[in-house]
Copies of this chain bind each other. A is one copy, B any other.
Amino acid sequence: MLSKKTKYGLKALTFIAKSDGEDPVRVGEIAQNENIPQKFLESILLTLRKSGLLGSKKGKHGGYYLRKEPSEILMTDVMRVLEGPIAMVPCVSLNFYEKCDDCPDEHECSVHKLMVEVRDSTLSVFRNRTLADLSEV
């Protein structure tokens, strides 16, 4: 299941991409338009900024803006920042690999085999989609 954090984050990014003026976009404006609790959204945008996807301007007339063109922001990157690993099992994750406690040999594990396929098919979607695709009407 997709967390609300990720869902809100994707919506916020889309909103910022759509309002592509020069001015940064206020958190309050996004929260209001997308029905997101403002304080919760604040923390989400903060992590997006720390990850490098967003920039921010403090103080009056401040807000958030994209650091790259929407067409250059891959869903793989966004999802890994917001949701974490794309793989369903750590032993199959490219960026967050971890060995399983219970598996003596993961090359003989039936779950492993299946989850590699799921990972690859999910990756093929996220690698071929950018924020530009999301913000199209």
Measuring CB to CB, which residues of chain A are less than 8 angstroms from any residue of chain B?
1-2, 7, 10-11, 14, 34-36, 75, 85, 88-89, 101-103, 108-111, 113-115, 117-118, 121-122, 124-126, 129, 133-135, 137
Contact = CB atoms under 8 A, between A and B. Distances in A.
21 contacts: A1-B85, A1-B88, A1-B89, A2-B88, A2-B115, A7-B89, A7-B111, A10-B110, A10-B111, A11-B109, A11-B110, A14-B110, A14-B111, A35-B103, A36-B102, A111-B134, A113-B133, A114-B133, A117-B125, A117-B129, A121-B122
Contact of A125 (B118, B126, B129): B118
A51 to B, nearest CB: 19
What is the interface of chain A mostly: helix, strand, loop, or mixed? helix
Number of copies: 2
A114 B129 contact: yes
Contacts of A108: 137
Nearest to A14: B110
Given A1-B85, A7-B89, A122 B113 contact: no
Contacts of A103: 35
A30 to B, nearest CB: 12
Nearest first, the 7 closest Cβ-Cβ pairs linking A and B are A110-B134, A35-B102, A121-B121, A14-B110, A2-B88, A117-B125, A10-B111
